[in-house]
Amino acid sequence: MSGGGGRAVTQWAQTSHCRVTASRRAGRFALVELLAPAVATRARPGQFVMVTVPDGLAFLRRPLSLARVRDDRVSLLVEARGRGSGRLAALEVGEGVDLAGPLGSNFPVDGVGEALLVGGGIGCAPLEFLADALLARGARVTAACGFRDRRAARLAALLDLPALHAATEDGSVGCRGTVLDLVQRLDPGPGTVVYACGPTPMLAAVQRWCARAGLRGWVSLEAHMACGTGSCHGCVVETARGRQRVCSEGPVFALGEVRL
């Protein structure tokens, strides 16, 4: 496993059986905390775990970002979309679940003075862990999160981000418009490092805007993953360095590196 933005080209997925210690819900979203010392001690912001769905409801494990890491516990943000994710969102205190990881590359956080965190929908999941790491290093952190409507914005109730600004496309929560509209209103200064995670169209818009504004940054890509370790090559994306796997060379890439 590599850190500091390094690339984990091959990965070994250590699996741990972890117990649920807390769960909070907001609409179709749930923040599930687990006692997971083997994951927590090695985790870095931006990494993820592969989660086995209990009761045999899904053949493949589900990739979930590490939303927060505190001491020997990790938190996962889950959106109930189908049978598998619905079962994970419904986990109760005391239940057990298998986690494989931590996996993937991480967000570089050293030497950052000013950071802007940009999330879209469930893509906001890794931003809290990232914010904690940046704040611990003395960075000033602002977060901008975009949602489709009030129902989707219920996710924000599960976040604890500093200086959080929200936007919804229908104007029902926060300002009206996309998260990029919101970011442009915030007008970050030169030297701000941008970190973004969300749907590909959102990331492409952030990438173009940062290029015009002369800002550098990092993106975390979302992808369907079968293995999470780089062996199946099912999550390949085009980058300036050729075809890369989101689960192993990513999910974190330099903002200008990926071809969105």
Concatenating the DSSP letter of every residue in 198-211 gives S-HHHHHHHHHHHH
d(CA 18, CA 242) in angstroms, rounded, equals 37
36 and 126 fall within a common domain: no
Pairwise pLDDT comparison (45 vs 237), residue with the higher score: 45
Task: Look at the block and give the residue holding tokens 């550098």.
Answer: 216
Note whether 139 and 242 are same-domain residues: yes
Q: Do 128 and 238 fall within a single domain?
A: yes
- For residue 222, the model assigns a pLDDT of 77
pLDDT at 2 over 50: no
Q: How confident is the model at residue 38 (pLDDT cuts 50, 70, 90)?
A: very high
b/e per residue 197-214 (b: at least 16 CB within 10 A): bbeeebbebbbeebeeee
Q: What is the pLDDT of residues 219-230, one digit of tens each?
A: 998 777 666 666
The answer to whether residue 179 sits within a structural domain is yes
Residue 77: closest CA among 67, 88, 85: 67
Q: What is the pTM of this model?
A: 0.90
pLDDT reading at 3 higher than 50: no
Q: Cβ(126)–Cβ(77) under 8 Å? A: no
Q: What is the mean pLDDT of residues 210-235?
A: 81
Name 98's bridge partners: 17
Establish if 36 belongs to a structural domain: yes
- Chain-wide mean pLDDT for the chain? 89
Residue 120 contacts residue 95 (beta carbons within 8 Å): no
- E strand or H helix at 99: strand 96-103
Q: Residue 125 domain-assigned?
A: yes
Q: What proportion of the chain, given as a percentage, has pLDDT over 70?
A: 92
